[in-house]
Structures are given as C-alpha cells and as structure tokens.
Amino acid sequence: MSETKYEYPQVKYTRLTFPPAQMQQRAQEFYAWMDTRRTVREFLPDPIPEGVLEHILLAASTAPSGAHKQPWSFCVVTNPDLKRQIREAAEKEEYESYNGRMPQDWLDDLAPLGTDWRKPFLETAPALIVVFRRAYEEVNGRKKNNYYVNESVGLACGFLLAAIHHAGLGALTHTPSPMNFLSSLLNRPENERPFLLIPVGYVPENCLVPDLKRKTLDDICFIYK
Ligand SMILES: Cc1cc2nc3c(=O)[nH]c(=O)nc-3n(C[C@H](O)[C@H](O)[C@H](O)COP(=O)(O)O)c2cc1C
C-alpha cells in the first residue's frame, strides 16, 4: 500500500463530544443564543475595550476556506476623520442608489426596514471593520488565484458576526453599493476587493429593531431519510 504524503504534518484533532441529552441542550442553547443576534443601526460612541476586536477577528479567521488560503483582510477603522470620509463616500453612493439606481422591487423590500441613504452610524460606531476579499496572492512575482473566495469570506464574516454577538457588542452588515471607495480610502492593494463594511460597538439600551420573523424549520429544512 502506498503511503499518502501530506504537506502538513498530522496532529491529533481536539475531539469534543457529548452524551445525547447534553448534546441536545447545547444545540438548543446555541440556537437560542444566536436567535438573539440582531442587526442594529444605532451605536454608542464608547470605545471597545482593548483586545476585544483582536480576538473577534481571530475567531473570524478560524473559518474554513478553500485550500486554507484564508483569503480575507480585516481593516479596523477607529480614526474619526477616516470614519467621516467613509460615511461621506458611502452616503454619496447610497443617495444615488436610493434615488434611481435601485429597482423598485429592491426599494419595496427595503421599505419595511426603514433604511435610507443616511448612514450616521458610520461615524458614531467606535469601530468600522472593513472586510476585503483577496482575489489572488502575489507569490514570487506571480499571481496565484485563491479558491472559493466569496464562500470563504462569507463564512469568515458569519463567524465574525457570531463572535461580535458573543462578546456582547452589536454590528451592522452594511453594503454600500458600489463600495470601491473603500479600497482607495484605505489604500488597499490591487489584489483586495471590498466585501462588507461592518460598524461595531455597544448598543444603546433602548435600541429598537424591526420585528422580523425568521423562517421556520419546515421552511428551510428538507429531510431525505
Ligand atoms: C450581505 C448583506 C448585506 C446587507 N446590507 C445591508 C445594508 O447595506 N444596510 C442595512 O441597513 N442592512 C443591511 N443588511 C442587514 C439586513 O437587512 C439584515 O440582516 C436583515 O434584515 C435580517 O435582520 P437580522 O440581521 O436582525 O436578522 C445586510 C445583510 C447582509 C447579510
């Protein structure tokens, strides 16, 4: 039998498992916790304690990625002047989008959320996490494509939002469109493309969110026995 050669040495997997009742409890508790996550559009200006965002980003970067390329960069913007420039550029694009660029169906779907072109949270939130996807890497002067970049970065952003929630902070998944202005304002290299703009911070005590209903299990799950 030929031996398989691995580039990485093999290490023992840290295996965690639980008896069925405990497993059920853990699954239910995790769902109940995740179900309390909401997108918020208001933030307190209070700074985030030192080290918190770093661990949130490390948690995001534990996400699986195509061929383990981890094709993401996270820029953390706390500089007030830069936040103002990002707000101004985002509002300029969003004004155009809400006033002619978005088709009526899209505007109709957004109407119940009450969003518009104004984005004050881009300045009030103490930190903006700007996520970039890395389309390729430059290796020895040669362009090497990354694989499943959107899927990988999407997963990392899911982990990121869960980590933010777990830390007791709030976030908004924001997608000003188009958002090329983020590449120039943050002076990002040619291989990076903006993916999401995520204001993060403490949530005001009386913050309101739309009373959305999530799909039921029957709506989303199809079992093949
Ligand atoms: C890819 C993506 C883009 C989004 N873009 C925006 C946005 O630009 N502005 C905004 O206010 N909310 C945005 N949202 C937030 C959604 O409106 C929100 O997730 C949805 O209404 C469900 O609410 P929940 O996150 O509280 O469950 C976005 C969410 C996703 C996943």
pLDDT digits (tens, 9 = 90+) for 141-187: 999 999 999 999 999 999 999 999 999 999 999 999 999 999 999 99
| Structure-block tokens of residue 113 | 């959320």
Domain interval for residue 59: 41-197
Please list, in sequence order, all residues whose beta carbon lies within 8 angstroms of the beta carbon of residue 15, skipping any fewer than 6 positions away.
none
Residue 180 lies in a domain: yes
Q: What pLDDT score was predicted for residue 186? A: 98
Residue 31 lies in a domain: no
Whether 174 is in the pocket of ligand 1, judged by its Cβ within 6 Å, is yes
Residue 219 lies in a domain: no
- Residue 40, pLDDT > 60, answer yes
Residue 130 lies in a domain: yes
CATH number where 109 lies: 3.40.109.10
Dihedral angle at the C-alpha atoms of 207, 154, 120, 191, nearest 10 degrees? Answer: 160
Taking alpha carbons only, the member of 198, 225, 215 closest to residue 43 is 198
pLDDT per residue over 178-207, tens digit each?
A: 999 999 999 999 999 999 999 999 999 999
Residue 8 Cα to ligand 1 middle (Å): 38
For the chain, the domain total comes to 1
Whether 115 is in the pocket of ligand 1, judged by its Cβ within 6 Å, is yes
Residue 225 lies in a domain: no
Whether 97 is in the pocket of ligand 1, judged by its Cβ within 6 Å, is no
Residue 207 lies in a domain: no
Q: Residue with structure tokens 């989303």?
A: 220
| Rounded Cα distance, 178 and 90, in Å | 9
Residue 224 lies in a domain: no
Residue 82 lies in a domain: yes
Whether 124 is in the pocket of ligand 1, judged by its Cβ within 6 Å, is no
Q: At how many degrees (to 10) do helices 149-167 and 20-34 cross?
A: 90
Ligand 1 pocket test: pick from 153, 174, 177, 198 the residue with the most ligand atoms within 8 Å of its Cβ.
Answer: 174
pTM score? 0.95
What mean pLDDT value characterizes the chain?
Answer: 96
| Structure-block tokens of residue 15 | 């295996």
| Rounded Cα distance, 106 and 102, in Å | 6
Please list, in sequence order, all residues whose beta carbon lies within 8 angstroms of the beta carbon of residue 49, skipping any fewer than 6 positions away.
none
